[in-house]
């Protein structure tokens, strides 16, 4: 897509644009990626192109995906759309924490833009939640949308985990990935904590980080609680927020109970008065329990050996290896 074509599309959608950064945006979305993990990005966002008339998809690294949303926030003059684009930067970066350390300085700047946008949105209290459909396309739905109770949409990071390999390379994989289940890939959050600095930038550090231990960096949840307003919008506020103290805001758990749906494989919290409605739709009382690694009879790892070589594989692959002459267990020790 060229600069002229992009401008014409925005005009067709009735949007005024700042043309200064259009070429910057196109430079980002027109690059081809060879990275192990990429995300799909609509050159014309679905939030704008609701009928998907200009449904051009590209694959971008998380860093470039965030950069694309940043340029869109500068290009589109509509304040609401621009703010939402900037706010979505934080979502992209948060679900890919610690993935692009070589771009950390730029990521910190993008996080600042996202933080300011979230502050602006928070004041207007939109009450929306980010989700993805079966094709992996993300969008925001209003809290209470009946589609959230079905398997049509799930959380944007549902079913995935950010991991690192033996070389320290970070990527996002399915929670059912054999390498993750075998322990070859480990979660990037292991031994780390998400913190916020004095500028409002969030990132991860080791639990023994001097900045965290000294109090210079604070855990993102320290001194904050999850609340819900009268419109059903949920967000975090300080424990000293006057709206919480006055009763205008309530704790998310106030008067609510946990329920789960085994078929949908997810849980939520509802008001007690709505329990019968949810029960009739197949929901049950109690929190949803995520299956731990290796607890399923066909999931987990096992040692095998052959010709003085031993390695660990997933149980799902054992028959394939046995047909090739591998034997279960570690290789026998020499006497």
Measured in residues, the chain has a length of 335
Give domain status of residue 260, yes or no: no
pLDDT value at residue 270: 80
DSSP 165: -
**What values do phi and psi take at 247, rounded to 5?**
95, -5
pTM exceeds 0.85, yes or no: no
Give domain status of residue 192, yes or no: no
Residue 333, CA atoms < 13 Å, CB-side half-sphere: 1
Give domain status of residue 234, yes or no: no
* Four-CA torsion 275, 278, 282, 284, nearest 10 degrees: -30
Range of the domain at 310: 299-335
Give domain status of residue 138, yes or no: no
CA distance 87 to 103: 19
Give domain status of residue 114, yes or no: yes
Whether the Cβ atoms of residue 186 and residue 168 lie closer than 8 Å to each other? no
What sign does the dihedral 111-113-116-117 (CA atoms) show? negative
Strand runs labelled E in 11-81 = 39-42, 57-60
> Can you name the residues that pair with 310 across neighbouring β-strands?
305
Q: Where does a domain end: 125, 149, 168? A: 125
Q: Where does a domain end: 76, 102, 125? A: 125
Q: Which one, of 87, 30, 98, lies nearest residue 63 by Cα?
A: 98
pLDDT value at residue 294: 45
Give domain status of residue 24, yes or no: yes
DSSP 149: G
Give domain status of residue 34, yes or no: yes
Instruction: Name residues whose C-beta falls within 8 Å of residue 230's C-beta, 6 or more positions apart in sequence.
Output: 248
pLDDT value at residue 125: 45
Q: Where does a domain end: 125, 143, 173? A: 125
H or E segment and range at residue 105: helix 104-124
Neighbours of 242 (CB within 10 A): 10
Per-10-residue mean pLDDT of the chain, 335 residues long, equals 86 87 89 70 83 80 87 88 83 63 73 75 60 74 76 77 77 80 82 81 82 83 77 76 84 78 79 82 79 48 77 74 77 57
What sign does the dihedral 16-21-23-27 (CA atoms) show? negative
Give domain status of residue 162, yes or no: no
Report how many domains make up the chain. Answer: 2
């Amino acid at each position: 897509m060229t600069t002229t074509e992009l401008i014409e599309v925005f005009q067709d959608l009735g949007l005024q644009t700042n043309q200064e950064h259009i070429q910057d945006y196109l430079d980002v979305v027109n690059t081809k990626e060879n990275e192990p993990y990429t995300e799909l990005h609509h050159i014309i966002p679905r939030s704008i192109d609701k009928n998907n008339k200009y449904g051009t998809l590209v694959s971008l690294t998380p860093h470039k995906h965030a950069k694309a949303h940043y340029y869109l926030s500068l290009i589109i003059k509509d304040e609401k759309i621009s703010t939402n684009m900037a706010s979505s930067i934080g979502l992209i970066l948060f679900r890919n924490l610690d993935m692009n350390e070589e771009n950390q300085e730029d990521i910190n700047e993008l996080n600042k833009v996202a933080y300011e946008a979230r502050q602006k949105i928070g004041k207007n209290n939109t009450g929306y939640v980010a989700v993805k459909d079966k094709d992996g396309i993300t969008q925001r739905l209003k809290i209470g949308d009946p589609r959230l109770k079905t398997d049509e949409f799930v959380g944007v990071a549902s079913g995935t985990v950010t991991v690192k390999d033996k070389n320290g390379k970070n990527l996002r994989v399915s929670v059912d990935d054999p390498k993750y289940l075998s322990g070859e890939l480990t979660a990037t959050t292991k031994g780390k904590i998400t913190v916020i600095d004095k500028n409002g930038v969030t990132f991860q550090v080791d639990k023994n980080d001097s900045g965290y231990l000294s109090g210079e960096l604070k855990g993102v949840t320290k001194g904050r609680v999850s609340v819900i307003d009268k419109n059903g919008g949920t967000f975090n506020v300080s424990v000293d927020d006057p709206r919480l103290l006055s009763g205008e805001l309530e704790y998310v758990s106030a008067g609510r109970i946990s329920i789960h749906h085994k078929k949908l494989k997810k849980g939520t919290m509802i008001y007690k008065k709505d329990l019968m409605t949810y029960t009739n739709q197949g929901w049950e009382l109690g929190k949803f329990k995520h299956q731990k690694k290796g607890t399923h009879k066909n999931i987990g790892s096992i040692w095998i050996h052959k010709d003085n070589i031993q390695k660990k594989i997933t149980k799902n692959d054992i028959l394939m290896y046995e047909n090739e002459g591998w034997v279960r267990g570690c290789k026998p020790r020499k006497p």
